[in-house]
A and B are shown apart, each in its own frame.
Chain A
Amino acid sequence: MKTLMKGNEAIAEAALQAGCRLFFGYPITPSTEIPEYMAKKMKRVGGTFLQAESEVAAINMVYGAAAAGERVMTATSTPGFSLMQEGVSYIFAAELPVVIVDVMRHGPGLGGLGATQADYFQLTKGGGHGDYHPIVLAPATVMEMVELTYLAFDLADEYRNPVILALEGISGQMMEPVEFMPYRPKALPPKTWAATGIGDKPKVNIVSYVLANEAGELHNLHWAKKIERMRAAEQRYDTYRMDDAEFALVAFGISGRIAESAVDILRAEGIRIGLFRPISLWPFPTDGMRKYSRIRGWLSVELSAGQMVDDVRLTVGSGTPVHFFGRQGGMTPDPEDVAEAFKMALHNELNAGGVR
């Protein structure tokens, strides 16, 4: 049965369905529906919602609950996400399964509440210190928020790694019909590594420091292997009208939806264009993107000054033009703006091939 639900609330409900029984968070617009929903519902499922004194405290409470072996989540928005970065680095190093929702607002600074995707660098390049990567998933619809929330808990447990759901404020606030399919957990080994009190098993230490340089390097190499495993296995993307495309827009989240309409506009003008929509921002879907080697020009459409475009350039190489179009400060482009920007950016390539 479908229900009409806000994105933020759908994520919270999906987390409960996925067995999340602890939530620690600090109020910040536009993510606050998530803690509010948890405050209302967690009690009914026998779980714990706790309002922390700060995002710094919240991420460390999450660290503690994950260390004790329970499914746990926090949600925040950009400035709060910045405050959590030290904690995310520790969570990675201690190899703890944690799900974090970042409902983005624009910055830098306090910024504003409009649609933005300017957290891309912080999300994907390791916002905190050290060589690490969280898995980052970017839903475009409320339905996809539910599916990716289910997935996020499984991936977090499977890799013992932080998994971040990244969405724009506009998507968190947007209401759409949504259906909660039964959550089917992935078969995973028991969490024998968790600190649950020794009982009759050997004692457990969960720490993230390594002072001996030789041991430090071994840890880093171990994590590098995990990063490579995640990079190989967890790339996700969607495409729209890419089968016969000569040109492509690349956009995630809400920009992906706008770009989809822009594809239709340009197709109506006879341009063979498609959309490549990354769903995993990290790992970036390089393997999928490289399959489209015949694409003669890409346009990265983002709500930022141009961040993901770097990854697109790294993926397709210097032989193919890669351009950027974006709006900032909370503004969203219309599909017509994207279509126009595409024609201007790839003017030469379009004319060289002739508009078909």
Chain B
Amino acid sequence: MSVVFERTRGLTDQSTHFCPGCTHGVIIRLIAEVLVDMDLLERTIGVEPVGCTGFCENYFACDIVGAAHGRAVAVATGVKRARPDRFVFSLQGDGDGAAIGLAETISAAARGEKISSIFINNSIYGMTGGQMSPTSWVGQKTATSPYGRDVELNGQPLDLPLLLSQVDGAAYVASVSVESPQEVIAAKQAIHKAFEVQIAGLGYSFVSILSTCPTNWGVTPVEALSWLESKMKPQFHLGELKKPALEGVTGP
């Protein structure tokens, strides 16, 4: 009997704290799988943020450093500069990376910091109970936009990967999602390429992954997947927004 699927050794046996139907679990599993596929686990240092990915030190089987809110890429910069031979990735949510830590995000990209950032965008502050984020869509009702996001008051959602694709030091920028098996496969390929870019020393690599938050969106997990497609995707540029010429890099 052949094994067609197994638990990745990139994750520990710890069960996660994620709410039912949340796609964060899928995303951290993809990251862990790529770390194992690329044989990076033993030389990886991950940096986690404050927010819904803030407890991932319990899940990833590699070394993890916990950063203050918004500062994951600054901390990852310190780690990478101290240990340039190690593989360093950061995790951030939309509040962390696109609001409080926006200066750090863009500055790390501008420096061409040789780290890989995974930006999990669910258009809401999940951990604090569902407030409006910089990537909330126009009209989205949240605890702090109870009448819906108002363009006059809050402006349009920020398309962070598009912004970063304009920065020279960002070598690879992709914007993917996880609402269907096809999209999950594409997201894993993007993570793989981002990690290859770091290994090749080409510069900063950034993968934005659209993710659901059924709890704070106030919908069922299945509805959340269709909301991701119908409400989130139209707000953002999708696909590989910037890719370097990668000699010999083919992806999984």
> Nearest chain B CB to A70's CB is how many angstroms away?
4
Report, as a range, how many residues of chain A touch the other chain.
35 or more
A64 and B44 contacting across the interface, CB-CB below 8 Å: no
Choose one: A22, A56, A68; the contact of B45 (CB below 8 Å): A68
* B245 at the A interface (CB under 8 A): no
Q: Which residue, B48, B61, B80, B87, has most C-beta atoms of chain A within 10 A?
A: B80
Residues of chain B from 23 to 48 with CB closer than 8 A to chain A in the complex: 41-45, 47-48
A68 contacts across to B, CB distance below 8 A: 45, 65, 78-79, 82-83, 86
B203 touches A (CB below 8 Å): no
User: How far does the alpha carbon of A57 sit from the alpha carbon of B73 in the complex, in Å?
Assistant: 9
Contacting pair B43 A64 (CB below 8 A): no
User: Which residue of chain B has its CB nearest to the CB of A207?
Assistant: B66
Tell whether A64 pairs with B63 under 8 Å between CB atoms, given A56-B71, A197-B45: no
Which single member of B48, B62, B75 contacts A60 (CB below 8 Å)? B75
Q: Is B68 an interface residue (CB 8 A)?
A: yes
Shortest Cβ distance from B204 into chain A, in angstroms?
A: 14
Q: With A64-B47, A197-B62 in contact, do A57 and B103 touch (Cβ < 8 Å)?
A: yes
Q: In chain A, residues 200-234, which have Cβ atoms closer than 8 Å to a Cβ of chain B?
A: 200, 203-209
State how many residues of chain B have any CB contact under 8 Å with chain A: 36
Interface residues of A in 83-131 (CB under 8 A from B): 86-87, 90, 94
Is A52 engaged at the interface, CB distance under 8 Å to the other chain?
yes
Taking the closest CB of chain B, its distance from the CB of A216, in whole angstroms, is 15
Instruction: Determine whether B54 belongs to the interface, using a CB cutoff of 8 Å to chain A.
Output: yes
Question: Is B207 an interface position by the 8 A CB rule?
Answer: no
Sample of 21 A–B contacts (CB below 8 Å) = A48-B82, A52-B74, A56-B74, A57-B103, A58-B74, A60-B67, A61-B74, A64-B80, A65-B78, A65-B79, A87-B68, A87-B71, A90-B68, A196-B86, A197-B44, A197-B87, A203-B62, A203-B64, A206-B65, A207-B48, A207-B65
Known: A198-B63, A207-B48. 16 other contacts (CB 8 A): A48-B82, A52-B74, A53-B103, A53-B104, A56-B71, A57-B77, A64-B65, A64-B74, A64-B75, A68-B83, A70-B83, A87-B71, A197-B62, A200-B42, A203-B64, A205-B58
Q: Which residues of B contact A (CB under 8 A)?
A: 41-45, 47-48, 50, 54, 57-58, 61-68, 71, 74-83, 86-87, 103-104, 107, 111
Which 8 pairs, one residue from A and one from B, show the smallest C-beta to C-beta distance? A64-B78, A207-B66, A60-B74, A53-B107, A61-B78, A64-B75, A68-B82, A65-B78
